[in-house]
A = this chain, B = another copy of it.
Amino acid sequence: MADTRTPEPAAKPAARTPDTTRRSERSRRAIYDAALSLVGEVGYPKTTIEGIAARAGVGKQTIYRWWPSKAAVLLEAFLDLGERAAEAAGAGGDYEIPDTGDLAADLKTVLRATVDELVDPQYEAPSRALTAAGIVDPVLGAEFVEKLLEPSLQLYVKRLRAAQEAGDVRPDLDPRVALELLVAPLAHRWLLRTLPLTHAYADAVVDCALGGLTPR
């Protein structure tokens, strides 16, 4: 969508900018599909560009022409997967955290859904792979955060701001910090597999974060 616009008038003289208008949509789709299925089947490290090209019925150069790395392919494929899922599910592209007036309940709803998504076997392999790649490669990591993570986090910022206005959250708090108190524990358990990631845990995190550790 935003894809059709050339993202850069290319400052770099060495930047070989292939003509986006002539790009084969068929190939791109096939590459996305091949990349995701391969990561699911054999894991990220054993997924190779040659393998993706072969399964997609595509020349290697077609991949190298449009993506700088295996991780970049997977990131785009994953974004595309999300978009397609969004299109399929809801008409509107934008999600919101519900605001029923009951902050705790709203947060539990959302975090439970997050738990479900994280443990969904279809998504797990590629998102782990992507996260791990981003941890090691700062450039990829920045893109990962910007395109995939930050939009979701902004939803929390919005909901928490509303809660502050409603008097449900202390007004002096930075919503960025608050949000991380809610989201980071789930991410932690998922990434490091320290303990099982369940709905009960999501509830406990919400209660604990809202009420604080100290007695009242």
Contacts and interface: CB of A to CB of B under 8 A. Distances in A.
A85 B131 CA distance: 30
A164 B174 CA distance: 27
Interface stretch (A11-19, A89-97, A202-210): A202-210
Given A183-B188, A210-B213, A129 B138 contact: no
A132 interface: yes
Size category of the A interface is 35 or more
A208 to B, nearest CB: 6
A2 B169 contact: no
B132 A57 contact: no
A214 B181 contact: no
A170 interface: yes
B167 A215 contact: yes
Question: Which of A2, A132, A168, A174 has the largest number of chain B CB atoms within 10 A?
Answer: A132
Contacts of A160: 213
Interface in A95-148: 103, 128-129, 131-136, 138, 141-142, 144-145
Nearest to A169: B213
Contact of A214 (B144, B192, B194, B211): B211
A80 interface: no
Contacts of A141: 192-193
